[in-house]
Amino acid sequence: MSDEARTFRIALAGCGRISRNHVDAIQQIDGLELVATCDVIEERARSIAKPLGIPWFTSYEQMLAEVDCDIVSIATPSGYHPSQGVLAARAGRHVITEKPMAISLEGADELVQACDVAKVYLFVVKQNRLNAPIQLLKRAVDRGRFGRLYMANCTVRWTRPQEYYDQAPWRGTWEFDGGAFMNQASHYVDLIQWIVGPVESVMAKTATLARRIETEDSGVAILRFRSGALGVIEVTMLTYPKNMEGSLTILGEKGTVKIGGTAVNKVEHWEFADSDADDELIRSLDSNPPNVYGFGHEGYYRNVLAVLRGEAKPDTDGRAGRKSLELILGIYESAKTGCDVPLPLRR
């Protein structure tokens, strides 16, 4: 059977908080099939697999050895992503990994290299890039509608109570998770550099103000882009009493846009000096997602299928995923040293 017609079989590693988004997306798409689940907590793996009549595992290595699949989708704690992705690549499977792809550049580079050597695809989930307002904002920047870009601001005002961190021992640790920038805000770090362009340097402050965790629950980063534009990323997991805002604002010479809501899905301001057909499209996109994960996992998996069928290029591959990781690590280095940190980072 040709790749244009075949169904690609997916094994899911990690059946926690984000896994339902993966399962629902796979089930919506003809051409993709979930064939196995794995989690160190058997009940979580079984709860997804049993209703579908597919096997479940508590050993990742056993699932790789026993399951006939084309793709491994990794939704485990962040610190495991590189090693598990490398094992999948060496087994000849394409790799989909949740954000962040790694928590160190060494881990990211090992994963990219393993997939290159094995000649398999590496997809890094950045589903918020696929939100319709974000796609139109990116198009406006690429078309030059803003003229010169002056300022960019990302604001992530969410809440994660202490119970969230207490649910799993890996949460809020440096070894397996990272803090608010690395975990919850990583999509926003990705968006600001994807839309505005490469970052020249970063200055940051982070703090652990209220949660009993190793990593930060709040922080602020000041960016200088190579274009000369300035940017700010503000992040906290302490918003009372619930998630309030996940937004991106761009201010330019001839345009001002704010995409807000809880997950960059709601158009709050859209104004340009010159009119465009996209201005009419924007008026029909004023919708908020059901949760902070947005609507994008299905769109992301549709891109995966199109890539494997030879019809498209990856929306975000390993090298694109590495860029936002490097910026996050630059934020952490600045917060640690108190210094302005140039990018790319010195290895």
Q: Are residues 231 and 333 in the same domain?
A: yes
Strands 71-74 and 56-57 turn out to be unpaired
Find out whether 189 and 195 touch, Cβ atoms under 8 Å. Answer: no
C-alpha–C-alpha distance, residues 303 and 319, integer Å: 17
Is residue 292 very low, low, confident or very high in pLDDT (cuts 50, 70, 90)?
low
Q: Are residues 180 and 110 in the same domain?
A: no
Residue with tokens 């709860």: 47
CATH of the domain at 249: 3.30.360.10
Q: Are residues 101 and 77 in the same domain?
A: yes
Residue with tokens 């798409």: 29
Q: Are residues 42 and 134 in the same domain?
A: no
Give residue 109's domain range. 8-127+297-316
CA dihedral 303, 313, 108, 42 (to 10 degrees): 20
C-alpha–C-alpha distance, residues 142 and 140, integer Å: 6
Neighbours of 258 (CB within 10 A): 20
Return the exposure string of 134-161: e unless at least 16 CB atoms fall within 10 Å of the residue's CB, then b. Answer: bebbeebbeeebbeebbebbbbbbbebe
Helix and strand tally (H, E) in the chain?
11, 14
Q: What is the pLDDT of residues 218-237, one digit of tens each?
A: 999 999 999 999 999 999 99
C-alpha–C-alpha distance, residues 118 and 137, integer Å: 36
Q: What is the pLDDT of residues 3-36, one digit of tens each?
A: 767 999 999 999 999 999 999 999 999 999 999 9
What pLDDT was estimated at residue 284? 77
Number of domains in the chain: 2
pLDDT at residue 291 above 60? no
C-alpha–C-alpha distance, residues 183 and 336, integer Å: 18
Tell me the two tokens of residue 261.
């809501």
Is residue 204 very low, low, confident or very high in pLDDT (cuts 50, 70, 90)?
very high
Residue 38 included in any domain: yes
